[in-house]
Amino acid sequence: MAYRETEKMRIRKAEARQRIVSCAYQCVAKSGFHSARVTTIAAMAGVATGTIYRHFESKEDLFAEIFRLATQREVDKVAEALSTQGDATVRLEAALRQFAERALRGPVMAWSLIAEPVDPKVEEERLAYRQAYAELFEKAISEGIEEGCIPDQDARQSSTCLVGAIAESLVGPLSPAQTNSRAEPRNDNYEPLVNSILRFCMQGLTGTRR
């Protein structure tokens, strides 16, 4: 004699939640966390503003989830590249290339993940994200040191330098100002830029001229 949550409703709610997440993701990918508005996301997802708050405690919570999601994708790709065949330098180079190319293809999101200032809860996710990268690269560098293809060094510190060198190389030329004033289809040739960055990174790592 009353309403009882049924499978159908569970699914419908899950779909709404998914739609909200997806639209929030798009908003962030388009112009960063700072300019993503709750009302805009709601409109995009075809729900009322208040509905967002039935699925998430707050904007921060929603954004933390978006961040986690975006992050996971990137980290997975890098981990994948790192787990292929070859010695550590080869695998590291492949991973760095993956990292750089993906960031170049989605510069706004890349910037948001790397450098945009965010609320505490989101910043917490970022810490985990940096950690994840640092650990992945650090592990590969350490393996390289053991293998002997990379000279002894502070693996964690070098890992940080790698991320920094790449990030700066992307954040600069692909900052909003640069990105906006560009033709629609993003089919630039990234090869030279990426190669140039990678040479610097690999030399920094190995101390050997490429």
Q: With CB cut-offs between 5 and 8 Å by kind, which of DNA, a second copy, none does residue 11 bind?
A: none
Short-list 110, 93, 99, CA closest to 205: 93
Give the binding range for DNA (CB under 7 A) out of 37-45, 94-102, 144-152, 178-186: 37-45
**Tokens at residue 98, please?**
């993956």
Q: How far is the CB of 68 from DNA (least distance, A)?
A: 17
**From a second copy, DNA, none, which one binds at residue 117 (CB under 5 to 8 Å depending on kind)?**
a second copy
Q: Which of 75, 120, 105 is nearest to 194 (CA)?
A: 105
190 contacts 99 by C-beta, under 8 angstroms:
no
Of 53, 51, 68, nearest to 121 (Cα)? 68
Examine residue 12 and tell whether it contacts DNA (CB under 7 A): yes
1 binds, among a second copy, DNA, none (CB under 5 to 8 A by kind): DNA
Residue 38 binds DNA, judged by CB under 7 A: yes
CB 93 within 8 A of CB 198: yes
Give the one residue of 26, 51, 142, 206 binding DNA; rule: CB under 7 A. 51
